[in-house]
Every structure is written in structure tokens, then in C-alpha cells.
Structure 1
Amino acid sequence: MTPMTAPQIVHTAYLDPATRTELRALLDEAFDGEFTDEDWSHTLGGLHALIRAADGRILGHGAVIQRRLLHGGRTIRTGYLEGVAVRAGHRGQGHGAALLTVLEDIVRRAYDLGALGSSEDARAFYAARGWRQWQGPTSVLTAEGPAPTADDDGGVYVLPVLPPADLPLDLGGALSCDWRDGDVW
């Protein structure tokens, strides 16, 4: 196991250029070259959790950004996870769990709901941590109204924060996200 430091929390505004460059390279590597410029843009603007090796190299990253989701006629202030990744060769050593512990704490302290779009490989990881798979249809809010995002159905996970009486969630109901370029979920 690679020795690591405790996760560091830093806002995008305080990421120096060298750290931004290292983060982008980590995400490009972790997502096998499929991490687009739009994905990078989605990752910026919120709080980042960084795990570093003892030598300072970044081993893992995750970000929480604010989004608006619509469910049951209600707009929900959501802490949305982006760019969650651990460097190849360092996975399965607790780094992802350490990142998620910090990110989930941010979501629970600052938002009404947590959400993320998961790859198939990571679904069991999130489910084991209490994230719940959205079972209903997903869509994105466009200027013309909601547009189905059927390719994302089954890949959206939520982390309830508020008690059900304050935020009733029907996991089989419709869930819409706000529009953004690239992958909307």
C-alpha cells in the first residue's frame, strides 16, 4: 500500500497551475483518454478532495460542484460528484473510500441531496456506501423542455441527505438535471 496523506480540500480558485495540470493528467489517465474538455470543465468550480502520496504526487481526486436537479415538482440543491478517480496501480488500497468520506461529508453539510453519474465498474462501490441507484427515467432540462437521457438511466446515483418528510424521493420517478455542454449527467 502506498503511504498517503489525509485528503486535502481545496476550492478550484486555489488550485495552482501545476496542480491543475497534474489533476487533468490523472483524470485523462484514469478515464482511459475519454475525459473530455467538457468533463474537465464540469469538474471545476467547486471543492476538490485530493489524496497525495508521501512524495506529493496526487493519487486520487474527487470534486463536489453545485447543480440543480428536478424531481417531484421540486428543484433540489444538489452536491454533484465529478472527476472521482484513483491513479492506476493505487486502486483497492482505500484511497477511493477516503476520498468519498470527505466528499460525502461536504454533501451532507452543504446540500439537500448528493448525486453522481457512475460508470458500471464503480456502481457496487457507491451502492456499498449508501448511494442509491435512481430507477426511474432521467432527462435534462433544455430550452424546449425536458429531453430524455435514456443512455444514463441506471447510472445515476443519489445520496439522500434530508429526511424523507423534508425531501420525499421516489427512486422510480422522473429525475431531471440542469443543462450543460458534454455529458449532462
Structure 2
Amino acid sequence: MTPTPSERPAGATEIHLAHTAELDTATLKAARILLYDVFDDMTAEDWEHSLGGLHALVHEGGELIGHAAVVQRRLLHNGRALRCGYVEGVGVRADRRGQGHGAAMMDALEQVIHNAYDLGALGAADEAATFYAARGWQLWRGPSSALTPDGVQRTPEEDGALHVLATSAPLDLEGELTCDWREGDVW
């Protein structure tokens, strides 16, 4: 649990977990700016994918230095539609990386995933794969696809970049994993 403000040392890093609906316009704007600074290829659709779920926010001295979100998606696997906690928009300001902020945000989101979803999933850049593997996320080794308006379409460009966090659903890491449709990057 996150300490209350009176329990935190002055100037300490503060982690806050909140639903999109609870965040004010200024906080959402700061999170969006942070992610655009962290990711060179960030798009409006990428930002939209981070909305509608729970956000883990890291503040230091009142300034936002880290953001991560978990949103609900449906993934199809082994003939079942699974409720998935899908992780989006994980980023820490460049000058604050390597200090445990990403791990602290993921601790909060993984607790939500374990308690509320059939599995967790995320798409990881090559440089982040080791971070997630060390946390217990497993590389999906089977084929990936998306349930598009034109039916199920393979997404081979995502193969080797998808990671899952097992919770309650039995998973065959060699089997097919199909995500629900959305604009922009489907995974």
C-alpha cells in the first residue's frame, strides 16, 4: 500500500494509483507530455491506449517523473476469451531512470493484474524485455493475431515482443494469442 502523505519523508518519491476518471486535466496532460518525451514514436493512438484504466504515477517533489497504466482488454486463447490487464505507457523521465521507479509502478500494476484479471500482457521493446523477464513476465512464443473488422489477422511483427504474466488462466505459451481490435497499434 502507498504510504499516506504524513508517512512519507519530506521530498520523497510519491507513487499514486488512480483511475483515468479520477485524474485532473493537468495530471493527464503531464503524463502525456512525459510519454511523448520518453518515446520518440509515441502517437495519439498510443496515448489513447493508456486511458480508461488504472494509472501508476510517480511524483517527486510534486513533479510527475513516471507513468504506467493497466487497461482491460480481451485476449482469445485456447478457445476462451480472457479478461486481460494490458500494460501501456510505461515510462520514466530520462534523468530519473535506474532508481527503481519503473519497478515501483509495476509492483502496483501487477498487484491489480493478479487480483482482477485472468492474465497480464504487454508489448515490450527489446531494451525492456530483460526488465519484465526479471519480474516474472514470460515471453509469448506462439503466434499472435488480432480480431479485426475483417476477421482474425496474423500480427507476425509482434511475435517475439509480447509478454504475459500468468495469474488464473492456464496458458500455452506456444499457442496462438489473439487480441481485441483497436485503432493504431493493435498490440
Which category of TM-score, normalised to the shorter sequence, fits these structures?
over 0.9
Task: Measure how far apart 1:145 and its partner are.
Answer: 1.6
Which of 12, 23, 27 is the equivalent residue of 2:31? 23
Q: SS of the counterpart of 1:45?
A: coil
Contact 1:47 1:64 in 2 (8 A): yes
C-alpha distance in structure 2 between counterparts of 1:27 and 1:144, whole Å: 31
Contact 1:46 1:65 in 2 (8 A): yes
Per the normalisation by structure 2, the TM-score is 0.92
Task: Measure how far apart 1:168 and its partner are.
Answer: 2.0
Is residue 2:164 matched to residue 1:158?
Answer: yes
Is residue 2:40 matched to residue 1:38?
Answer: no
1:88-107 matches, within 5 Å, as 88-107=94-113
C-alpha distance in structure 2 between counterparts of 1:143 and 1:58, whole Å: 38
Which of 49, 71, 80 is the equivalent residue of 2:56? 49
Give the match for residue 8 of structure 2. Answer: none
Give the match for residue 80 of structure 2. Answer: 74
**Structure 1: tracts of 5 or more residues without a match:** none
**CA RMSD, aligned part only?**
0.9
Q: How many residues align?
A: 177
Q: Which amino acid aligns with 2:154?
A: P
Which segment drifts farther, 141-150 or 114-123? 141-150
Q: Which amino acid aligns with 1:178?
A: D
Q: Which amino acid aligns with 1:37?
A: A
Contact 1:4 1:51 in 2 (8 A): no
Contact 1:79 1:114 in 2 (8 A): yes
C-alpha distance in structure 1 between counterparts of 2:24 and 2:92, whole Å: 20
Q: SS of the counterpart of 2:173?
A: coil
Give the ranges of 4+ consecutive aligned residues of structure 1 lying more than 4 Å apart after TM superposition: none
Per the normalisation by structure 1, the TM-score is 0.93
Is residue 2:182 matched to residue 1:183?
Answer: no
Percent sequence identity over aligned pairs: 56
Change (3 A) 1:4 1:51: farther
Q: Which amino acid aligns with 1:28?
A: Y
C-alpha distance in structure 2 between counterparts of 1:35 and 1:143, whole Å: 24
Q: Which amino acid aligns with 1:113?
A: L
